[in-house]
Every structure is written in C-alpha cells, then in structure tokens.
C-alpha cells in the first residue's frame, strides 16, 4: 500500500470490537491481570498503552523499522537514544544541528562522560580522523536545522557500519513521507513529532524508530526505564495529525519552493539555503535520497539591520519558534533556537546575525509572498530613513 493510504488509515482498522475508524484514547494507567502470571499485553501505561502502541507501530512501519517508541518530546526521544551510551563513549555529530540537541550533548551527556565531536558529516576523511576506539555512533540531521546542509545517508551509514558505529538520523525536517533513512542504512531514526508529523503547532511529541531486534529491545528498556513517554491523548492527537501528512508536506514543499525562488531574486537578500534550489550544494544528494523537500528554509539578509523591522512588520507570518505546522512561523536562530551554541561555533557554521529561518505553512503562497514583500519594503524604508 502506498504511504498516503497508510498515513490516512493510521489506527482505523485496529479496533475490531466497535469498528471505530479513529482509534480510541485509552486513558487508563493500569490494566487488570486476568490471573496471576497472565497479562492482556498491557500492564502499566508507562510500559505500554493501547493508543500509544498504535502510533508506535505506525511509526515503525512508516520508517521501515522494527520498533517505534513515542516520547513526550523530540528532546525526550533524543535523550532515550543517547542513553544507549556510557561513560567514555564518543559520538560524531553534524556540525550544524538543532541547538537543543547540542545543549543536551554538551551540558548533560558530558556530565555522564559521553562526548561529541562536531564535523561536516560528508567529510569521511575528517570523520575517520575523529574516530577512536571509543566512538560508538554518528548522529546526523539531514537537512540540518537551520542551514539545510545535506548528508549522504547511504554513504555515511556504510562508512559507519565499516567502523562498527551506529547511525542515528534526526528525520524531523523531511518525515518518512519524503525520506526514510533506515532504507538507506541507518539504525535509528529520531523525530521531533512536534513538527511536521503533528503538523498543527498543538502537540509536543517525539518518536524513535529502530532497526534490529537487540537494538530495539535496548531502546524499549530505556524508554520504559526513563519514562518520558507520550500520553494517550497526545498519542491520539499526533495520529490525527499524521493522517494528513502527505497533503501537508506537498503543500509545504510547493509554498517553500515558490517563496525561496522569490527571495533569491530579492534585492535585500544575500543568500537562500534551501535544498530544492539547484544552486544548493546538497541538491544532487537530496534529490537522490529523498522524494521531496521540506517546508522550512533559511535565508540571509544583506544587512543585519533588516532583522528587527522584518520581524516586527510580518503580519500573516508569525514571529515564533518551532516549525512544521500549518501556520507560517519565522524565527531568528542566533538568539532563539540556536542561542545555546557558542558564538564561535555558530559563526564557523554560518548561523550569524543576518540569518532568519522560515517555516512555511500551508496558507496561500501569494498571501505569504505579499506579507514578506511588505515587511521587506517597510524594513528597507526604515533603514534608509534612519
């Protein structure tokens, strides 16, 4: 069955008792045992909940993995995955990545003796140099947040396998509708399901999908032991969002491409970072490994003085953090989503004071371009008059 059909049908044929097409929300935290030594398969909700299980099975299937785990946020999902590692272990991580992931690695995992080196994850020589006997995994975002750098998943996971490393891919920006890293050789996929999977800026959630029995058992143990699991109500809300993922991703992609092309030609814009543009350095790899493009991109204005008035003048587009929802949001990574990354690293990567990140929603593209156009014109006027 095609992915569009599988998405639309999440949970709809799993309730044989009533035939409900929307799977019920099981709020129970405890489940009766038929007798000593027997279980219905559900004992305690942290370990397994019927509503969450439907979501987890759907996630595993959509990402071509063996097991899925729903967590209370994307960060909780990353924390569970990083808990696979122990004192002395070392990870190789994308140079450009979500600031919260960097914070988790640098401010929390280091306290447990787990360290990370940040590198361009297409540079196999640089990664080989960083690899020590203690290196256990490579963690990549592709595209990265916010600079949209692309990593060749197949090439990197083949290299990781040859070194005995796990490949972990944060697939938040593309979702399994456009990209399935496990099919390309990855071992674990992580999502901030708060973003495109939920899709409506109204549910905080994370997902993990793993390949292989032993690895899935280890993650299952950590998921239950750490306990940052997704509640039944939010599991249902996430599934409701996922049913329309295909339609939304196509519209996000269409709108983002049109707007990126518009900005590329705009006199006040210095650079547009969007892998759907043939000028993007990752265009060829992205076109090969994904069937489409995300709805988020970043762009640099020519003069940092534009930033404040642009954010003040946008009306339809909200000045807000987060991404992947039906409503368009614009954020300033240097002081918001990526503020926890030290200045010298941000500057090295390019997350500087001229960069804006735009999560393009599903509104009519003409309205979004009109909003941007008036905000850019107002910003230009103010700067010229100052």
Ligand X SMILES: Cc1ncc(COP(=O)(O)O)c(C=O)c1O
Q: What are the catalytic residues?
A: 46, 98, 170, 195
Least spacing, CB of residue 75 vs ligand X, in Å: 4
Binding to ligand X (CB under 6 A) within 163-192 occurs at 170, 172, 192
Q: Which stretch binds ligand X (CB under 6 A): 6-14, 70-78, 129-137, 341-349?
A: 70-78
340 contacts 103 by C-beta, under 8 angstroms: yes
DSSP code, position 230: P
Whole-angstrom Cα distance, residue 126 to residue 134?
A: 16
Q: Report the residue number, 236 or 306, with the smaller CB distance to ligand X.
A: 236
- Of 45, 51, 194, 255, the residue at the interface with ligand X (CB under 6 A) is 194
> Applying CB under 6 A, which of residues 50, 65, 68, 74 lies at the interface with ligand X?
74
366: left (phi over 0), alpha (psi -120 to 50) or beta: alpha
Between 298 and 375, CB nearer to ligand X: 298
- Where do we find the tokens 């279980």? 39
Neighbouring C-alpha atoms within 13 Å toward the C-beta of 119: 18
Dihedral over Cα of 357, 360, 364, 366: its sign = positive
**Choices 54-62, 96-104, 175-183, 353-361 (CB under 6 A): range interacting with ligand X:** 96-104
Considering only 15-23, 39-47, 93-101, 365-373, which stretch makes contact with ligand X by CB under 6 A?
93-101
If binding is defined by CB under 6 A, does position 73 make contact with ligand X? yes
166-170/188-192 β-pairing: parallel
| Contact of 379 with 313, CB cutoff 8 Å | yes
Q: Please report the beta strands in the chain, taking only residues with DSSP state E, as ranges in sequence order.
A: 67-71, 90-94, 115-119, 135-141, 166-170, 188-192, 206-210, 269-273, 296-301, 318-319, 329-331, 355-359
Select 240 or 380, whichever has its Cβ closest to ligand X.
Answer: 240
State how far the Cα of 247 lies from the Cα of 375, in Å rounded to an integer.
Answer: 29
Residue 100 sits in the site that holds ligand X (CB under 6 A): yes
Q: Please select the residue that binds ligand X; options are 75, 149, 222, 239, rule is CB under 6 A.
A: 75
**Nearest distance in Å: CB 323, ligand X:** 6
CB of 194 to ligand X, least distance (A): 4
Q: Max Cα separation, the chain?
A: 80
The site for ligand X, by CB under 6 A, has a size of 14
206 forms part of the interface with ligand X (CB under 6 A): yes
Judged by beta carbon, residue 73 or residue 134, the one nearer ligand X is: 73
Return the ∠ at Cα 191 (arms to 187 and 197), rounded to 5°: 130
Compute the distance between CA of residue 343 and CA of residue 351 in angstroms, rounded to an integer.
Answer: 9
| Dist. CA 372–CA 311, nearest whole Å | 10
For the bound state, the minimum distance from the C-beta of residue 317 to ligand X, rounded and expressed in Å, comes to 18
Between 129 and 158, how does the x/- string for binding to ligand X read (CB under 6 A)? ------------x---x-------------
Least distance to ligand X, CB of residue 298, Å: 12
Q: How far is the CB of 76 from ligand X (least distance, A)?
A: 7
Place of tokens 């156009």: 373
Q: What are phi and psi of 49, to 5 degrees?
A: -130, 140
Q: Does 359 bind ligand X (CB under 6 A)?
A: no
Helix, strand, coil percent content, the chain, rounded in steps of 5? 40, 15, 45
Give the shortest CB-72-to-ligand X separation in angstroms: 8
96 binds ligand X (CB under 6 A): no
Which CB atom, from 293 or from 365, has the smaller least distance to ligand X? 293
Q: Which stretch binds ligand X (CB under 6 A): 68-76, 110-118, 152-160, 348-356?
A: 68-76
With contacts defined by CB under 6 A, name the span among 73-81, 210-218, 226-234, 306-314 that binds ligand X. 73-81
CA 354/CA 337 separation, integer angstroms? 15
- Min CB(94)–ligand X separation in Å: 10
Judged by CB under 6 A, does residue 298 bind ligand X? no
Residues of this chain that interact with ligand X (CB under 6 A) are 73-75, 98, 100-101, 141, 145, 170, 172, 192, 194, 204, 206
């Amino acid at each position: 069955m095609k992915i569009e059909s599988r998405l639309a049908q999440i949970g709809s044929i799993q309730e044989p008792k009533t035939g409900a097409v929307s799977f019920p929300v099981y709020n129970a935290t405890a489940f009766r045992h038929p007798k000593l030594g027997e279980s219905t398969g559900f004992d305690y909700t942290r370990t397994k909940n019927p509503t969450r299980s439907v979501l987890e099975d759907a996630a595993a299937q959509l990402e071509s993995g063996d097991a899925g785990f729903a967590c209370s946020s994307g960060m909780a999902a990353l924390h569970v995955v990083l808990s696979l590692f122990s004192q002395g272990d070392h990870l190789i991580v994308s140079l450009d990545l979500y600031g919260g992931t960097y914070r988790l690695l640098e401010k929390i995992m280091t306290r447990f003796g787990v360290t990370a080196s940040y590198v361009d994850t297409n540079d196999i020589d640089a990664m080989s140099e960083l690899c020590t006997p203690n290196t256990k995994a490579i963690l990549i975002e592709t595209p990265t947040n916010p600079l949209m750098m692309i990593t060749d998943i197949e090439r990197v996971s083949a290299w990781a396998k040859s070194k005995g490393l796990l490949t972990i891919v944060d697939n938040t920006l593309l979702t399994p509708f456009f990209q399935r890293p496990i099919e390309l050789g990855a071992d674990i996929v992580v999502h901030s399901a708060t973003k495109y999977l939920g899709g409506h800026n109204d549910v905080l959630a994370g997902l993990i999908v793993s390949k292989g029995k032993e690895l899935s058992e280890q993650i299952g143990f950590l998921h239950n032991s750490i306990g940052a699991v997704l509640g039944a109500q939010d599991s249902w809300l996430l599934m409701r969002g996922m049913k329309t993922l295909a339609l939304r991703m196509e519209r996000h992609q269409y709108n983002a491409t049109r707007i990126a092309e518009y900005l590329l030609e705009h006199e006040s814009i210095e650079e547009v970072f969007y892998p759907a543009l043939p000028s993007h350095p990752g265009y060829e790899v992205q076109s090969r490994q994904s069937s489409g493009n995300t709805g988020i991109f970043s762009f640099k204005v020519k003069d940092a003085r534009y930033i404040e008035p642009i954010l003040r003048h946008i009306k339809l587009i909200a000045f807000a953090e987060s991404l992947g929802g039906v409503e368009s949001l614009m954020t300033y990574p240097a002081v918001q989503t990526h503020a926890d990354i030290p200045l010298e690293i941000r500057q090295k990567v390019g997350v500087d004071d001229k960069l804006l990140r735009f999560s393009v929603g599903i509104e009519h593209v003409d309205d979004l371009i009109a909003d941007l156009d008036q905000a850019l014109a107002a910003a230009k006027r103010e700067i010229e008059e100052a």
